[in-house]
Copies of this chain bind each other. A is one copy, B any other.
């Protein structure tokens, strides 16, 4: 990649500290941005190789169409000069950008970040760049971002979620690019889907509670989106198993551990006889778990808590949080693979994949 074999030893503590000893000095104020030398253009490469620009273009994009010797020479020069295609010119002429937009509901969520990472692992080696945006669980923000996609003209779009508002669904379809939805299992995805049934997740929670012998159960979570689906499944499962849902506590907006704490407090003050609580995400569950322990309750004897998401911390907090969830990174990788096929105009076997829900049994239930 580089033109010299220059050493590139990572700095060790001694280097770092030697440089940084002077930390508190203010840096010189002349640090104006220096104009870089203009990067080489395709014509320059063509000139050096003694071919026409289009041949250089082909050598990079369809190497099999260029004679062996020329191709080698061209690639060597590209390497040496550090030539890189101007993506704007390329996108303008070919109508193909190498940007894939990924929208997460909340960038602070480990689950969503893992999925995006997984997707990036697949796409980036193929020359695509992920651009990450955050919808903050806000339908208004979602609408704004989708509108801004018209300007961005990405090669594909992925969401850690499904789009519920019909107007936004139409807008996305109109982009004419691959659209990936995830994290749920709607009957009519816009285009592609790697998802799972949140309803089944809720049902699994209820079945787990029933299997462990709890009868008086409760729900804490959002009343819209995926929270609503998990609640719905939980209701069904509870009904079938003869469980008694003593309370459904609504937490709206982006939830935090504090919400989980507060919700558990509310719940206990309403009905102290509750035996088991299903929290629609791990952040709420973690808060509830901490609150229960703060009150000196023993888990799972005094109260059982079940989360959703397989978040790292769930395993670390004593006595360990039982959670329902999926392998988010794997979901992201699969999504990336489908998107890739679609961008290459290959035909995936199926535009829809389902990932498995699993229950990780720990000490809290």
List the B residue with the shortest CB-CB distance to A82. B150
Does A12 have its Cβ within 8 Å of any Cβ on chain B? yes
CA distance A87 to B91 in the complex (A): 10
Which residues between 304 and 333 of chain A lie within 8 Å of chain B, taking CB atoms?
A: 312-313, 316-318
List the B residue with the shortest CB-CB distance to A92. B88
Which residues between 30 and 60 of chain A lie within 8 Å of chain B, taking CB atoms?
A: 31-37, 39
- Looking at A67-75, A225-233, A238-246, A266-274, the stretch in contact with chain B turns out to be A225-233
| Chain B residues with CB below 8 A from A231, complex form | 13
Q: Are B33 and A224 in contact (CB under 8 A)?
A: no
Q: Are B84 and A88 in contact (CB under 8 A)?
A: no
Given the known A-B contacts A85-B151, A152-B129, are A26 and B352 also in contact in the complex, defined by CB atoms under 8 Å?
yes
CB distance from A262 to the nearest CB of B (A): 12
List the B residue with the shortest CB-CB distance to A84. B151
CA distance A109 to B134 in the complex (A): 16
Does A287 have its Cβ within 8 Å of any Cβ on chain B? yes
| Chain B residues with CB below 8 A from A34, complex form | 173-174, 176
List the B residue with the shortest CB-CB distance to A144. B1
0/1 per residue, A80-107, Cβ < 8 Å to B? 0010111111011000010100000001
List the B residue with the shortest CB-CB distance to A30. B351
Given the known A-B contacts A86-B92, A257-B316, are A16 and B174 also in contact in the complex, defined by CB atoms under 8 Å?
no
0/1 per residue, A247-272, Cβ < 8 Å to B? 00000000011100100000000000
Q: Are B352 and A186 in contact (CB under 8 A)?
A: no
Contact among B87, B224, B256 for A312, CB-based, below 8 A: B256
Q: Are A29 and B350 in contact (CB under 8 A)?
A: yes
Q: Are A97 and B108 in contact (CB under 8 A)?
A: no
Does A184 have its Cβ within 8 Å of any Cβ on chain B? yes
Q: Are B117 and A113 in contact (CB under 8 A)?
A: no
Which residues between 135 and 188 of chain A lie within 8 Å of chain B, taking CB atoms?
A: 139, 143-144, 147-148, 150-153, 164-165, 167, 173-179, 184-188
Q: Are B91 and A186 in contact (CB under 8 A)?
A: no
CB distance from A195 to the nearest CB of B (A): 9
Contact among B29, B153, B313 for A257, CB-based, below 8 A: B313
CA distance A287 to B313 in the complex (A): 10
Does A297 have its Cβ within 8 Å of any Cβ on chain B? no
Which residues between 197 and 232 of chain A lie within 8 Å of chain B, taking CB atoms?
A: 197-200, 223-225, 228-229, 231-232
List the B residue with the shortest CB-CB distance to A34. B173
Contact among B88, B312, B318 for A97, CB-based, below 8 A: B88
Q: Are A191 and B31 in contact (CB under 8 A)?
A: yes
Does A193 have its Cβ within 8 Å of any Cβ on chain B? yes
Does A360 have its Cβ within 8 Å of any Cβ on chain B? no
| Chain B residues with CB below 8 A from A164, complex form | 10-11, 15-16, 19
| Chain B residues with CB below 8 A from A82, complex form | 147, 150
List the B residue with the shortest CB-CB distance to A131. B131
Which residues between 1 and 32 of chain A lie within 8 Å of chain B, taking CB atoms?
A: 1-2, 6, 8, 10-13, 15-17, 19-29, 31-32
CA distance A228 to B21 in the complex (A): 12
CA distance A352 to B34 in the complex (A): 17
CA distance A184 to B231 in the complex (A): 45
Does A116 have its Cβ within 8 Å of any Cβ on chain B? yes
Given contacts A19-B187, A86-B151, A88-B153, 10 further A-B contacts (CB under 8 A): A10-B165, A10-B224, A11-B225, A12-B224, A17-B229, A23-B229, A33-B173, A34-B173, A108-B110, A120-B134
